[in-house]
Amino acid sequence: MSSAPANQVVIEPSRGWASLGLKDVWEYRELLVYLVARETQGVYRQTALGLSWLFLRPVLNMLLLTFVFGRLVGVKSDDVPYPLFSLAALLPWGFFSNAVLRGSRSLVDNMHLISKVYFPRLVIPLAGAASGLVDLAAAFVVFFTTLLLYRMPLRWEMLWLPLFMLVALGFALAAGLWLATLSVKYRDVTFAVNFLLQALMYMSPVIYSASIVPPSLSFVYALNPMSGVIQGFRWALLGSGEAPGAAFALAAGLVLVGIVSGAYVFRRTERTVVDII
């Protein structure tokens, strides 16, 4: 710490965990809640059905996957009705993909706000990722309604769901931080995000069961955090497959590294983001 007379204040750059500005984010938590609500409402603004799309989207996706892959292709669903099998995967995947899309474009979409008002910029990608929780809550309503229709019982293993949700949220936040930072300099990142999400969906057991993955590739396959999250959802909700193991714990550790590194890079970029945008 530099020495200075008592009547002077020395401003120095923060270091370590303090440089992430988490304390500032907490102080602006009301803004975070406002941005989450605005992000959710903005997606469905000027639509005929409005927020009803929160419930219609998982239903339509479930019906499409059931018809194409459950009926026409005949994908195995581990002795579980394919509508439930696909919907259990669409719960975390729909949340994750929406959160990444919103988080990746968060800085560019809020350019007018960033250039006029001061607040910790980290709030913006956080709001983009957290806004997906609203979609997830609506999808859970659809899932449990479908569960009742099939007369499937509730399971004690469902208590593990918050852990899997936390990993999915962390992965979405890590991806959103990195992509939002890159999209400031390279606008073509916006186009690449859709392709990357589509590729990741095929590398995750959304359509098919993870049991068809060859044993020689199972460990590498499990390093994809969403693979373990989706398997965890199916295991907790339907009793399908096995609970995620050591590979999932390693994947969760990689997610944590991604969040911390992404936050540091984001904080370094936010100093010049107004000039670049």
pLDDT tens by residue, 225-276: 999 999 999 999 998 878 888 888 888 899 999 888 888 877 777 666 545 5
Is 258 within 8 Å of 172 (Cβ atoms)?
A: no
d(CA 91, CA 82): 14
Among 6-10, 40-44, 204-208, 224-228, the least confident range: 6-10
Q: Tell me, what's the pLDDT at 276?
A: 54
Q: Tell me, what's the pLDDT at 209?
A: 87
> Does 177 reside within a domain?
yes
What is the pLDDT averaged over residues 15-41? 67
Q: Is a pLDDT exceeding 50 seen at residue 13?
A: no
User: What total of structural domains would you count in the chain?
Assistant: 1
> Does 3 reside within a domain?
no
Specify the residue for token string 């009301």: 30
Q: If DSSP codes are grouped into helix, strand and coil, which group holds residue 69?
A: helix
> Does 10 reside within a domain?
no
Q: Tell me, what's the pLDDT at 271?
A: 60
d(CA 100, CA 174): 9
Model confidence band, residue 53 (pLDDT cutoffs 50, 70, 90): confident
Across the chain, mean pLDDT equals: 80
Model confidence band, residue 3 (pLDDT cutoffs 50, 70, 90): low
Q: Is a pLDDT exceeding 90 seen at residue 181?
A: no
Model confidence band, residue 179 (pLDDT cutoffs 50, 70, 90): confident
pTM reported for the whole predicted model: 0.82
Q: Quick one: tokens of 234?
A: 């199916």
Is 238 within 8 Å of 75 (Cβ atoms)?
A: no
Q: Tell me, what's the pLDDT at 265?
A: 79
Q: Quick one: tokens of 152?
A: 């499937």
d(CA 101, CA 190): 8
> Does 7 reside within a domain?
no
Among 43-52, 71-80, 84-93, 151-160, the least confident range: 43-52
> Does 57 reside within a domain?
yes
Q: Is a pLDDT exceeding 70 seen at residue 45?
A: no
Contact partners, residue 66, CB within 8 Å, separation at least 6: 82, 83, 86
Q: Is a pLDDT exceeding 70 seen at residue 68?
A: yes
CB pairs under 8 A, 24+ apart, for 9-16?
A: none
> Does 16 reside within a domain?
no
User: Higher model confidence: residue 22 or residue 6?
Assistant: 22
* Backbone angles phi and psi of 87, in degrees to 5: -65, -35
* Domain range enclosing 153: 21-276
E runs forming strands in the chain: none
Whole-number Cα distances in Å, 196 to 156, 204, 228: 35, 12, 18
Among 7-11, 221-225, 249-253, the least confident range: 7-11
d(CA 80, CA 235): 11
> Does 8 reside within a domain?
no
Q: Tell me, what's the pLDDT at 20?
A: 54
> Does 156 reside within a domain?
yes
Express as a percent the part of the chain with pLDDT over 90. 19
Express as a percent the part of the chain with pLDDT over 70. 79
